[in-house]
Amino acid sequence: MTDEFNTEMYYDDDADESYLANATVAVLGYGSQGHAHALNLHDSGVDVVVGLRESSASREAAKADGLEVATPVEAAARADVVSMLVPDTVQPAVYEQIEPELEDGNTLQFAHGFNIHYNQIQPPEHVDVTMIAPKSPGHLVRRNYENEQGTPGLLAVYQDATGDAKGRALAYGKGIGCTRAGVVETTFREETETDLFGEQAVLCGGIAELIKVGYETLVDAGYSPEMAYFECMNEMKLIVDLMYEGGLGAMWDSVSDTAEYGGLTRGDDVIDDQVRANMETVLEQVQNGEFATEWIAENQAKRPVYTQLNQAEKNHEIEEVGERLRDLFAWAEAETEDEEETDDEQPRVQAD
């Protein structure tokens, strides 16, 4: 642990594997996170059973990976730890099925706090409720584990009925490889609200809109779509990789002085006070539950807005231009060959 930050950090030495030594973990779902958690725990020596509905297309995949498979209710009935890794929108219905199987001292484990924080799942008082949330897509959680590396994660305890909730959660985090890199302690509220805000304002919504508007601005001014794509989409990865490796400082140190001066003097012309105000509105809608209520209602209505916007995104010109250009890159053929050679080893990322 370290006291350099306001939050606690935990590593392998802080995690006691004995908390799961005689426990059975039911991993409900075998999508992006589910397959990674189940396989990593299994390879760490934990007794794992995967809970999937009988019609799930993932049942054969999980069995082929050497895992035991049961229905969610059957898996929960056997388990000491129930890890809810089906999609957020499905979790309340699955929880309703498995809730009668939760016994005193069991742990209800999450990788995202949405349904607990917004009261879509209200667990009984006699169980621990914890979170270990890898800050990475599931296929990288699995890949890092197999490469004897770690994936940073978050730890939160919502309810500690046994007094051992944090210890068991850390053991779970070690089992999936997160404590190799480091686990940061947080709360269900903080994880949920920062995660939703980050996705909407920056990581998914903000960046996607910035790229599209930059592309449209160049094309509308008469520049070729190919050049607009390279400048606003293709080079984004190069810049983000620099930030990931060494923060903003590493990025500024790596680009040209011209790029640095232009970015420093023009960046806040684009992300101005109005954008800041818009971000505050997005955050407020997350904090007060407006977004959660909207998203729950959207799913209950069979996702009409989601479907329309998703299709519009797929039909944007930048997608067609990008697909055509990526097929022309010299490395495209090599990557295709690599994928064909390792197809049987690729993680399953479908949702269940």
List Cα–Cα distances, 28 to 69, 97, 195, 211, 352, in angstroms. Answer: 10, 12, 22, 36, 9
Number of Cβ within a 10 Å radius of residue 282: 17
Return the percent helix, strand and coil in the chain, to nearest 5. Answer: 60, 10, 30
Phi-psi region of 202 (alpha: psi -120 to 50; beta: other; left: phi over 0): alpha
Catalytic residue among 37, 42, 112, 117: 112
Separation of alpha carbons 80 and 76, rounded Å:
8
DSSP 161: S
Annotated active-site residue 112? The verdict is yes
Amino acid (one-letter) located at 270: V
Contact 96, 28 (CB under 8 A): no
Q: Which residues are tagged catalytic?
A: 112
